[in-house]
Amino acid sequence: MTHFYLAAAALVVVALALLLRPWWRSGRRIVSADFLPALNAAIHRDRLAELERDHNNGTLSDAGLAEAREELQRQLLDDTAAAEVAAVDAVSRRSGIAIAIVLPLLAVALYAVIGTPSAVLPQAAQAQRVAADMEQLTANLARKLEQNPENPEGWVMLARAYKSLGRLEDAERAYARVGPDLEKSAELLAEVAELQVQKSNGFDARSRELVQKALRLEPDNMLALFLGGGEAFAAGRYAAATEYWGRLLPRLEPGSEDAQMVESSIAMARERSEAGKKASAGGDALPDTAIPRDDAHRGVAKPGTEKGADKTAAKTSGKSVGGRVELAAALKGKAGPDDVVFIFARAVDGPRMPLAALRARAADLPLDFVLDDSHAVMPGSNLSSAQQVRIEVRVSKSGQAAPGKGDLTGKSTTVKPGASGLRIVVDQTEP
C-alpha cells in the first residue's frame, strides 16, 4: 500500500513538472511586473532632459533633437509592451498555482470514481468490506433459492458460502436441501463430513460414516482421503492414517504447502506408530471421541501429585498452554464422577475445529493440564501456529465431544501460546 502511494505521488509530481515548465522560464519577469512601467518612464524623462541640455548648449541641432525624440518615443512604446507582457505573466503565475493545486485533487477524485480504492485500504478494513460483501451476496442467493428451490447446484453454492462465513448450522441445512445428488457425489459427502467434524469438535459416528461413503464412491477423492487419515490418526490407527495420506500425497503439487503438511502428518503418524509398538500399546480409540486411549490423560495431572511423569506433564513451554480446571461449587451436584471432561484449545480467529484436545474424568476435578502440539486433533493444525487461543472445557453427559443438553462448560480468556497458570471454572450449563 505504501509503495502504491509513493508511485502515485511521483507520477503527479512528474505531470506537474511538465505542465508548469513555461511558468519556470517566466519567473524573472514576474518579479518586476508591478514597478516596471514607472521605472521605464523615469529613464525616458532623464534621457529627454539630457537631449534638451545638449540642444541648449549647441551640441545638438534642431533636426537631431527631433530625430532623438522620435527614437525615445519608439523605445517607450516597446518598453510599455514588455511591461504588459510581464503583467500577463503575473496573471499566468496564478494559473500555474491553480493547476498545481487542482491537478492532484482531480487525480484523487478520478481514482475514487473509476479506480479500485478498496485495493489500497488497510488489510483489516479491506477484510471487513469483503466479509460484508460476502454476507450480502449470500443473502441474495438464499432469497433466490427460496423462490426456486429445485436447484441442487445453487444449494451447494449456498452451503459452501455459509461454511466459509462460519455459519455451520445454516451450511448444514443448505446441504440437506441438495437432495439425492448429495449421496451420489463423493466430494459433497466429504464436505458434509468436514462440516460435521467442525461442528462436533472432532470425528463422531456420522462424520466417519460420511467419509467412508465418499471413499467407496471415489477411492481417490482428495478431501475424503485427508479426512480419512485424520479420523484414523485421531482414533490411534496410525498405520491406516499413513496409508490414507500416502495415497493423497502423490495427488498434491510437489513442494506445495499442502504437500508439506501431508508429509509432516505422515511422519507424525509413523512416529506415533513406532512409539506405540515399542510401548506395546494398542492405541485403539475410545468410543465417539477424537482422542485416542493412549492420549486420554497425557497432559493432565492431579494437583499436588508426586508422580514425576505428571509433574513433567504439567510444565508449559513457549508452544503450549497450561492451567487448572475447577468445577464451580454450585454445579458439583450436576457432575457424575464418570462424566467425561474435554479440554479444548481453539484459535480465536479461525475455524471451530480445536487445535488441541485432551480428556479426563469429572472425578479428577480440580486438575492441572497442559495442551501442546502433541494433542493436535488434526495434523497440520497445531496450537503453536496460532496467534491467540481460548481454552474451553466441557463436562459431557453423553461422553461425546459434541455439545449436548445438560453439559457443563467453562472457558478462559484469550491467551497466546506459552501462557500458563490459567484458571478455568466450569460454571455454565448447556440448556
Q: Phi and psi at residue 314, in whole multiples of 5°?
A: -85, 0
Side by side, the strands of the sheet bearing 321-327 are 300-301, 367-371, 321-327, 422-426
Q: Please give the model's pTM, rounded to 2 decimal places.
A: 0.52
pLDDT at residue 311, as a whole number: 40
The SS3 call for residue 189 is helix
Burial of 243: CB neighbours in 10 Å, binned 0-12, 13-18, 19+:
middle
Q: Phi and psi at residue 174, in whole multiples of 5°?
A: -65, -40
Q: What are the helix (H) ranges across 20-151?
A: 21-25, 27-32, 36-56, 62-114, 123-147
> Is 160:180 a contact under the CB 8 Å cutoff?
no
Rounded CA-CA distance 129/362 in Å is 45
Average pLDDT, the chain: 75
Identify any residues that bridge with 390 across adjacent strands, giving them in sequence order: 346
Does 19 have pLDDT greater than 70?
Answer: no
Those residues whose C-beta lies under 8 Å from the C-beta of residue 52, and which sit 6 or more positions away, are: 65
Rounded CA-CA distance 254/290 in Å is 30
The SS3 call for residue 168 is helix
pLDDT at residue 289, as a whole number: 39
Side by side, the strands of the sheet bearing 389-396 are 356-361, 340-347, 389-396, 408-411, 428-429
Reported confidence tier of residue 77, pLDDT bands at 50, 70, 90: low
Tell the residue number behind the cell numbers 464436505, with chain if given.
191
Rounded CA-CA distance 292/203 in Å is 12
Q: Phi and psi at residue 406, in whole multiples of 5°?
A: 85, -5
Give the pairing type, strands 428-429 and 321-327.
unpaired
Find the mean pLDDT for residues 133-138.
81
For the stretch 205-215, what's the b/e string if a residue is b when 16 or more beta carbons lie within 10 angstroms of its beta carbon? eebbebbbbbb
Tell the residue number behind the cell numbers 516596471, with chain if given.
36
Q: Which tens digit of pLDDT belongs to each residue from 390-431?
A: 999 999 888 777 777 888 999 999 898 888 899 999 998 887
Find the mean pLDDT for residues 275-282.
58
Q: Which tens digit of pLDDT belongs to each residue from 81-97?
A: 555 554 445 545 566 66
pLDDT at residue 316, as a whole number: 53
Give the cell for residue 167.
455459519
The SS3 call for residue 411 is strand
The SS3 call for residue 177 is coil
Rounded CA-CA distance 107/14 in Å is 13
